[in-house]
Amino acid sequence: KWSEEHHKWMETVDAEKIYELEPALREGVKDGLWMSQVSSIRNPRLLQALYTSLQRNPLVTIHEGAEVSSFLTNKDKLDGVKLHNGDEHRADAVVICSGAWSRSVAKNDGIEVKPVKGQMLIFDAPIGLVNRVVMNNGKYVIPRRDGKVLAGSTLEDVGFDKRTTEQAKEELADMAIDLFPGLASCPISAHWSGLRPGSPDGIPYIGQMKEFDNLYINAGHYRNGLVLAPASVALLSAIVSGESTPIPSEPYNPLIRV
């Protein structure tokens, strides 16, 4: 129903259509949802491009490995941030967008952002074995143009522990091979983990913080940070600059949610 009201980009399909799209899928699949406009992106390459773009921007300065130790305050005004090495950076506005670490940076218990570990792995597969993103029971396989197939992902509430486990590796491999039996003969070339910024119902905090008028947050996107990023930036940019927002801001407003 939602799809029908929004340009009909999702449709139910039968087995004939499914195996036309994915011939190597396991036998016995009878129906599914076909989302023709869903795509995938290699996020490390996207981040490399973003980093390069920012480096070339004369209005942007990047300080890597620069952990913030405290805010610089002047009475009830926020003047900037102080780093652990003693450096100070002054600013008219400060935005907390520290992913899974945002709550500790904000020092605000009302910001319910916590790390949720996700483990993933990659098969070195022949091109064409998997052609599209295939999702099943909350897990997924994602093909790359060079044949590599990503399988993910776990959801683990274990704090900031980023260690990978053999159990997760086996579960992800079994899931992917169950969907595409041909992956059984393909080597696993990488296994890693990351920390998602989990938040209540997966809804991010975007807006002004209560501590200072010029302190903002953009965090808690959980599993959808990449796809929500453009809209999140547009929303927060409008809030910081005092312009009308492109979408309603209330559902994400920290002052309302905490």
Same domain, 1 and 109: no
- Can you tell me the distance from the alpha carbon of 225 to that of 26, in angstroms, rounded to the nearest whole number? 31
Q: What is the mean pLDDT of residues 42-53?
A: 93
Confidence of residue 76 (pLDDT cuts 50, 70, 90): confident
Q: Where are the alpha helices (DSSP H) in the chain?
A: 2-5, 15-21, 43-56, 102-106, 166-179, 225-241, 254-257
Same domain, 208 and 100: yes
State the pLDDT at residue 43. Answer: 87
Cβ contact 245:201 at 8 Å: no
Rg (CA), the chain: 22
**pTM of the predicted protein model:** 0.88
CATH number for the domain harbouring residue 243: 3.50.50.60
- Token pair recorded at residue 140: 């997924």
Same domain, 27 and 69: no
Condensed to tens digits (0 to 9), the pLDDT of residues 191-205 reads 999 999 999 999 999
Note down the domain range covering 24. Answer: 1-38
What's the DSSP call for residue 216? Answer: E
- Token pair recorded at residue 154: 């776990």
Same domain, 32 and 51: no
Confidence of residue 240 (pLDDT cuts 50, 70, 90): very high
What are the DSSP E strand ranges found in the chain? 10-14, 31-35, 68-74, 77-83, 88-90, 94-96, 114-124, 134-136, 139-143, 148-152, 188-198, 205-208, 215-219
In a domain, 133, yes or no: no
In a domain, 251, yes or no: yes
Closest CA to 176 of 133, 112, 206, 233: 133
Give CA 39 to chain center in angstroms: 15
pLDDT over 90 (residue 110) = no
In a domain, 231, yes or no: yes
Condensed to tens digits (0 to 9), the pLDDT of residues 143-186 reads 999 999 999 999 999 999 999 999 999 999 999 999 999 999 99
Query: How many structural domains does the chain have?
Result: 2
